[in-house]
Structures are given as C-alpha cells and as structure tokens.
Amino acid sequence: MSEFHHSLYEDLAGALDEPLSAPPSPLFDHHMHLGDARATQVYHECALGYGVERALGIATLERAREIRHAFGDFFLFCGWPPIRDVNLTAELIDKCVREIEQQRDEGFVALKFKIVPDREGRAPRVWLDDPMLKPLFDRAQELGLAVQAHIAQPDAWWRRFYVDGRAGHKGHYFHQVEYLLDAHPGLTYVGVHMGGHPENLAYLQQLIDTYPHFYVDTSATKWTIREISRQHERAREFFIRNAGRILFGSDLVVQAGVSPTYYTSRFHVQRMMWETPYNGRSMIRDPDSETEPVICGLDLPAKVLKHIYWENARRILDLAT
C-alpha cells in the first residue's frame, strides 16, 4: 500500500487493504472531475476495484477526446460553461450555447453549473434568475442534456466562513433553484452534494415532491456522511422513499501524483455508509465536524442500492446498456 492520503486517519485507513464484498449492482459515479489520461488511470483502477463501471466526468472537449481514446466508453462527459463570476453578455451566452451544441455532437450528456459564494465569501455575481441565462437552459433542455448543479455550501461554512453576511442567506440560493425548475419544468436537474442541502431533508423532500425531474447525488463524501449519519433514522427513510431520485457520486478530483487512497477511501466510506450497518469512526478527517467524524451506516436494501448505484443514472443519462 502506498502512503495514505493526508485526509485519512492512518489507524483506520488500513481497511483499504481489504476489499469490500461485491456490491449488489455495478456503480455509476455521477460526479467526478477528469484529469489527463495518465492521472485518470489511477482513478480508473481504484474505481474498478470498488465496482464502479462507468462515470460521468467533468471535462472540456479536448480532454474528453483524450479520455475517450484511452478509456473507451467508461466515461461519459459533462461540460461546464464559463458563466461563473463573469459579466454575462449576449455574446458569451451565444458562445456557451454553441459550445454545448458541439459537446452534444461529441457525446456529452450533461452540463454543470455552480452557484456558490466566491473565495472571499461574497455572493455570486451570476444568479439563475438572470434572464440572460434562459437561452442556455432552453437549449440544454432541447438537446436532452441533464444539468448538474452545485448550489451553496454546507451550513457549517455559513457558521464558520460566511459570518459577515456577504454570502447572503443560504435560502436565497434555493429560491434560485426553484426559479430554474419552475421556468424549465422539463429539464433534468441533479443537485450534487445531496442537492446542496443534506442538513435539511424535509426541504429536499419538498423539492422532490414538487419537481418530477429533480434528483440529488451523494457526492461530497465528508459533508454527506456527516449530515446523513447525524440524521440516521430519518435519512434511511429518505433514501428508501426516494430511491428513484438519488444517484451515487464521488466528487473525486483527478490529480497527478495523489495517493490512490484519496480515491479508494471515498468509495470505501460511501459504500460502508449505504450498504452496511457499520457504526463507528470514519477514516476521512472532516474539518467541518465539531466531533470526530463517524459513519452510521444505512444498511439499505439491495433493490434501493441498485437504483442509487446504477438504474437512475442509466435512465436519466440514457446509457445504452
């Protein structure tokens, strides 16, 4: 075993040497960030070792071509239009529309956007109710692209980093989500990181019940594990009730030279969380947690796991399998 990633507790990371038993279905990683082919090779090997058979990777067109050449159809691709922290102009939106059209022609299935406070904790410059954005979302819907949305950040960040109020209220970010879903009722929307609001499962339930094309994924392992473990009983009910609306995702960011245990630990911890009744410390350090990070495993039924791990991604991304 190579050196452990710095995010791990070494006394627990030894578990990564012992493979978990086979999952009840293959896994589809709905949210990861691709690197070059060489660096992505490490992610690919680690993913296969945990039963991940396909993944949706965020990439540029050039990167996607390189990755497709190296990995065949293991990866699907998600574009990321440059509309964050910019002055929106008609020319820029036009360019973004042409870009997603070309990406669609080359097999992309999704586009990502991110509405979060900036590094200094200030509210974003671009909000979803900006009428300039409408043609982009209209075209995405026409092209059958799913939207992958990173909205807001953990409540813990509002308590720790955004105390001066410049980030605005977290609720305002979600008014924007509702605006988008009202304005584009046919758009497939996946809120990554448990929709951006794992702290508030009642609100996520409300979005799921109101919007038939609203989904969440399980990515951002520390945040998701922390909040789902905290609400264990309620979360288990939520996952079973909404098995058709939750996708597995890692949010792993491929990086050259990183310890493979960065990748394996996220798969390991999430699979422990969803598949087992394990109740104990998590091997991943969590700076946002006030106590030692724990996993309270949900021990979900196999038929629920099959939806979360594979079926929902297959359905909404139209995989030919």
Residues that bind Zn ion (CB under 5 A): 251
Residue 251 vs 275, nearer CB to Zn ion: 251
Shortest Cβ 220–Zn ion spacing (Å): 8
The continuous run of DSSP H or E covering 79 comes out as strand 75-79
Nearer to Zn ion, 34 or 100 (CB): 34
State the minimum distance, in angstroms, from the CB of residue 26 to Zn ion.
22
Q: Which residue's Cβ has the minimum distance to Zn ion?
A: 251
Q: How far is the CB of 33 from Zn ion (least distance, A)?
A: 6
Least distance CB 309 / Zn ion (angstroms): 19
What does the alpha-carbon distance between residue 227 and residue 225 come to, in Å, rounded to a whole number?
6
77 vs 73: CA distance, rounded Å: 10
In 211-228, which positions are buried (b, 16+ CB within 10 angstroms) versus exposed (e)?
bebbbbbbbbbbbbbbbb
Label residue 3 exposed, middle or buried (CB < 10 Å: 0-12, 13-18, 19+): exposed
Q: C-beta of 175: minimal distance to Zn ion in Å?
A: 23
* Torsional class of 235: left (φ above 0), alpha (ψ -120 to 50), beta (otherwise): alpha
Handedness of CA 87, 190, 151, 153 (dihedral sign): negative
110 or 300: CB nearest Zn ion: 110
Q: Which is nearer to Zn ion, 76 or 93 (CB)?
A: 76
Nearer to Zn ion, 29 or 99 (CB): 29
